[in-house]
Amino acid sequence: MNRKYKNPPIVEALCEIQFISEKPWDLTIPGLFYEKVKELFPIREQQLGIGVLFKPTQTGIEHKIEQAPPRMQFFKTDRSALIQVAPDLLVINQLTHYPTWSKFKPTIIENLDIYNKIASPKSVKRIGLRYINKIIFAKESIELSEYFELFPNVPRELPQSQTDFTIRLEIPYLENDRMLITLGKSYPKNNEGVSIILDLYYISFNQESINIENFSNWLEHAHGSIETAFEACLKDKTRISFN
């Protein structure tokens, strides 16, 4: 069900695209890209290259922190969104004031089109669409089973309260597509109460089925899968807080 909320818990949405190129990375590409987007993303910064590598294996998706080339970042004036460009990599981030999918999706496609015309990649290696939600309860503690369909099942012989927890699921979808679902406690700020992170990350490694031409269709499928997973993890008691 496609529900609309007055106060959605999204704290960040992003689309990450990794490419395969036939030629070495041209150091002029970030500058050429900036010239195309600087009207909407005028603030230019460089970030040291540290990233997470996701690699599909027979036993699941392996991930590790690794050093990567520096990224050029282009921010909106209010820093509510940014675009990141690095060798064979494009990331579009919405940090605050999520504008609805009908507006975020065109931003992704428009910037992919700019990158494609400038860098001319051979193909797409991996695509990821990710939504990070922060759900805050103005209470000292909550019973997770009252608010979530997904929660840690603690044996009766153990104390039932947790100071911290993290649950991570990897669910297969289409060929070589995976949904990574992470639910966990985050550190509270300013006595905000109980803070829960629900991180939904849909990834495709299928190089044959994902390409720039059918990218829009893939985005719709990935976003629909994330919406379904989001609703499936919640109970109505949590949804009320978003309204």
> What are the CA-CA distances from residue 142 to residues 25, 155, 169, 192, 196 (Å)?
50, 18, 22, 13, 10
> What are the CA-CA distances from residue 156 to residues 27, 153, 159, 160, 226 (Å)?
59, 9, 7, 7, 32
What are the φ and ψ backbone dihedral angles of 176, each rounded to 5 degrees? Answer: 65, 20
pLDDT at 161 exceeding the cut of 70? no
Measure the CA–CA gap between 148 and 191, rounded to whole angstroms.
22
Mind giving me the DSSP string for 149-167? SS-----TTS-S--S--EE
Question: Mean pLDDT over residues 168-181, rounded?
Answer: 90
What residues have CB less than 8 Å from 190, skipping those under 6 apart?
none
Measure the CA–CA gap between 233 and 148, rounded to whole angstroms.
6
Q: Are 123 and 19 in contact (CB under 8 A)?
A: yes
Measure the CA–CA gap between 12 and 30, rounded to whole angstroms.
23
Q: What is the pLDDT of residues 2-19, one digit of tens each?
A: 688 888 999 999 999 999
Name the percent of the chain lying above pLDDT 70: 83
Of 147, 127, 133, 112, the closest CA to residue 198 belongs to 133
Q: What is the pLDDT of residues 200-227, one digit of tens each?
A: 999 998 666 566 678 899 999 999 999 9
What is the predicted pLDDT for the residue at 105? 97
